[in-house]
Chain A
């Protein structure tokens, strides 16, 4: 069974750093791109960026590129989304998802989401 299991909820202060994770199982992790998607409170879905776990090639939504970093450790089938300095506007639920086929495919499996709260 394909599963993406994300790390737990986080509460941080502005300016702090954070790394959240997404562990894949039930499939060959390096064969499928991983997306990160943001959902701010009461709002819709926004694509943050994606990574190819086979070679760690990434591409980002320009709206997020300067603020986050996406990485992967294929030895443990895990992808990461990282901030070096959080702001209150980063408060959201972050989902990872698997791209089903190639580069342009739909997102066929999703993690359960990691709520991130940034507040002083």
Chain B
């Protein structure tokens, strides 16, 4: 069961900007930072954004994150075909004493 809510799908054309939302509660996103993971088909997840809006080394600046209250967003600008993947938000859940994930958003590049 997913405690963070994401849209199941998103799409865009090459060069376009797309955003993926992630909604939580005061006991997860509202009081903890948000991380985003990218999972390319058939591969392991990869850390894309951490601490709401920080990019690990090697992640292009086309990817950006933001957070407000109990919601977060991932934005991808200059969409490329290789961005086609599943994207998961994650935050710490105080009630679980562990990390929780959103259900994932499948991004299609048309």
A residues near B, CB below 8 A?
35, 37, 44-47, 49-50, 59-62, 95, 97, 100, 104-113
Contacts and interface: CB of A to CB of B under 8 A. Distances in A.
- The secondary structure that dominates the B interface is strand
6 contacts: A44-B88, A45-B101, A104-B92, A105-B50, A106-B50, A106-B90
Contacts of B2: 44
Contacts of B50: 100, 105-106, 108
A34 to B, nearest CB: 13
Given A46-B101, A47-B99, A106 B47 contact: yes
Contacts of B37: 45, 107
Interface residues of B, number: 25
B51 interface: yes
Given A44-B2, A44-B88, A45-B88, A107 B100 contact: no
A44 B104 contact: yes
B96 A61 contact: yes
A48 to B, nearest CB: 9
B52 to A, nearest CB: 11
A100 B92 CA distance: 14
B98 A50 contact: yes
A35 B85 CA distance: 22
Given A44-B88, A100-B50, A106-B51, A113 B98 contact: no
B91 to A, nearest CB: 10
B32 A104 contact: yes
B110 interface: no
B45 A45 contact: yes
Interface in B45-78: 45-47, 50-51, 56
